[in-house]
Amino acid sequence: MNVLRKCNLCYRNCLVDRYKNTGYCKQTNKIRIAKAALTYFEEPCISNEKGSGTIFFSGCNLGCIFCQNKEISSGNFGVNISIKRLAEIMLELESQGAININLVTPTPHVLGIIKAIKLAKKQGLKIPIIYNTSSYENVDTIKMLDGLIDVYLPDLKYYNDEYALKYSHAKNYFDVAVKAINEMYNQVGKCEFDKNGNIKKGVIVRHLMLPSLKEDTKNILKYLYDTYHDDIYISIMNQYTIIEKLKYEELNKPVKEKDYDEVIDYALDLGIKNAYCQLENTSSKDYIPDFNLEGVIANKNKLNKLSSK
C-alpha cells in the first residue's frame, strides 16, 4: 500500500490520503521545495569553505511557534517538482562545488527523496547526503533511509515535554526524538571526517537553546553525553531569533549571554569534547534564508509564474 494514501510518515500519524487532502504538514503527494543553494552558515564540518548543497523543503511536521522559517514551514511557500528534477538539483549542487547535499525538513517528502537519491546516485552523485530534521519521527520512516543517508543532523529541542507541548504542540517529543536519534546512530555510527575536515558520516545533534530554558538544555546535554559520549557531535546553538511577538513573554527576549556561557561550562564539566558552540551576534535575521526559489526550476523564466501557484 502507498503510505501516502494513509500517511504515517511522522509521529503525528495524521492517516490522511495525501492524494486528496493534507495533514499537519500541509503537504500533498508532491515534492515541494522553496530553495536549493549553497549555504555557508552551518557547522564548519558541514559548510566549510565550499558550502553545503542545501535543499529547503516546504512544510513541517513539528510546528514550533518561534520558527525562523515560517514562510516555508507553515506558510507552505514553494513549488512542486518531480523526482527527476530533485535528482537533477542534487547533481547541480554537486557541480557547483557543494561538499554535501543537505535535506532540510525532509520528512513529509521522504518517499520522493528516497527515489531521487537513488536516481542521482545512478547518475553519478558522490557527495554525502545529510538528513536535517526536527526528530519528531517515526522510527520506521528512519529505517527506510538505511544505506542512503550518510549524516544525520537531528534536533533535540526539549527534554521536558511540557515545553514541547507549549511551544511546538508536540506530545511525547523527547521520547520520540531520542528513539529516532538512536536509530540514526545505529545506521551510521561514529562521526568520520575527510582530510579537509568535512563530515563523511555520523550524527550531529543540534540543540537550540531557548530563553529561560537553561536547565532543560543542561538535561539534554547530560542525556546525550551519558548515552553516546564522544561518538556523536553536539551543536549547542545560541542563535534563537525573535521573528515576531509571541503570546509567551519568555520567548520575546534573546538568550542571555551569561546563561549560554554557563551551559558551555556545564558541557565542559560533563566531559563533552565533540561539540560546536557559537560566538556572539548569531541571533540575527540576517542568517535566515531568502526563500526565493533559487535553484529550484531549471528554466528560470518560469519562476514568477510557478511561485504564484
Show me where the domains of the chain are located. Answer: 3-307
Which amino acid does the sequence have at 295? G
Q: State the pLDDT at residue 303.
A: 42
- DSSP reduced 3-state for 237: strand
Residue position matching grid coordinates 565542559: 268
Q: State the pLDDT at residue 262.
A: 97
The rounded distance, in Å, linking the Cα atoms of 103 and 98 is 13
> Which segments of 58-120 are extended strands (E)?
79-81, 101-104
**pTM value?**
0.94
Q: State the pLDDT at residue 26.
A: 96
Q: Which helix (H) or strand (E) holds 52?
A: strand 52-57
Q: State the pLDDT at residue 243.
A: 86
101 within 8 A of 94, measured Cβ to Cβ? yes
Q: State the pLDDT at residue 301.
A: 46
CATH class of the domain at 3-307: alpha beta
Q: State the pLDDT at residue 297.
A: 84
Task: Per-residue pLDDT tens, the chain, 309 aa: give them.
Answer: 689 999 999 999 999 999 999 999 999 999 999 999 999 989 999 999 999 999 999 999 999 999 988 899 988 999 999 999 999 999 999 999 999 999 999 999 999 999 999 999 999 999 999 999 999 999 999 999 999 999 999 999 999 999 999 999 999 999 999 999 999 999 999 999 999 999 999 999 999 999 989 999 999 999 999 999 999 999 999 999 988 899 999 999 999 999 999 999 999 999 999 999 987 656 556 667 789 999 998 755 444 444 444
- Closest C-alpha to 221, from 179, 251, 171, 262: 262
Q: What is the 3-state secondary structure (H, E, C) of 2-51?
A: CHHHHCCCECCCCCCCCCCCCCCCCCCCCEEEEEEEEECCCCHHHHCCCC
